[in-house]
Structure 1
């Protein structure tokens, strides 16, 4: 168990409150963290990748079975070429360096978002780690790369229309659309966290998070520790989720 998470986890267990099982995180603030220190933005992204490893390892001990991370949006291509290429390199190195650890620790890794724009070598690494960890069940880690909620819904609508045209579906339902999303077969997030103090959802999981709880924290992602996550899990467990019933 993470040393940072241990004391807060103990209080959660003692309280007996239900905690979020699926947490989705908008990892914001890497560039700002670096800029505040007069460092290149990529230094912040590298520090953010280190933080991902810590949060991933802490999740099972905190009762989180599903973790979805927003790593790169469809709009992030607007950033400088240097930053985009640097980010893609960080993604590739993360997959290469963490593959063995994920396999050993029971983490299943999957990706959502359009892959066609990504470098073929990165696509191969993504497919490789998905296959290598497919049987793992301790933690389901989903990483959104070149992901945008509206883009996902557009692609899902096209898939649904194709199935209707082929006669597979006659009266399309909400569940049929969900089955056409990148996240098909995965539970909706109970809790969405955004770091860095921004208060917007940035096109992240608009369909899946329709009834999620939201938490916005001023902590920049490179500073977001397992203890911060445990505290948020504790606090949000006190909320009553009614799903429109009351």
Structure 2
């Protein structure tokens, strides 16, 4: 019988943004399922702490820098022999990314570099290792705002996540017959430090978000981590190029439930 608690035994998982939030939760879940974890993060303190907790490898990385991203994936392969899973998760949502009339070009570009260009670089770097092996699973963090509009706009964030979704879909199709699956994880609002910071600054804006979640709460990082571990595993062997929504029902409703 298959031990489902060890679905990822022998796999090597590279995670960007693994020092906190969804990335750290996914690292914990995949480690618990048997994977070796390579932590990529720009924060050396958080990244090293995560790697120590997960008995993994920490590689500092600025995900918008091509050489740094290549080094992350090459270091993973050198240390553990393969790159089987890439969870390209790092992202930002700064306060100067707002309504389009209030968002200046430098703010727009910074978000595009960290949220979209980084996924392009990470997919390229992962595929260099996965294509010769003829196998692999890439999970890219998009968002529910990639499939529906938001009245509380973060224009560059929304555009970047739309790009992640489209790119993931195309790569999933292109590499399907190479044995590599590529899926876009589309979370709804998640109870992470990033969201809590937003709520502290603007409770009214936060309340407007919460009322539209049919389940009546935000996701916990561990709930997204469970979805990541599933997509990384052979249980998802017939799933590629998907828009994998984990949004509490937000994208499925018309009238907000009482």
Between Structure 1 and Structure 2, the one with more helix by share is: 2
Larger Rg: 1
Say whether the fold is shared (TM-score over 0.5). no
User: Which structure ranks higher in relative contact order (CA pairs < 8 Å, sequence separation ≥ 6)?
Assistant: 1
User: TM-score if structure 1 supplies the norm length?
Assistant: 0.37
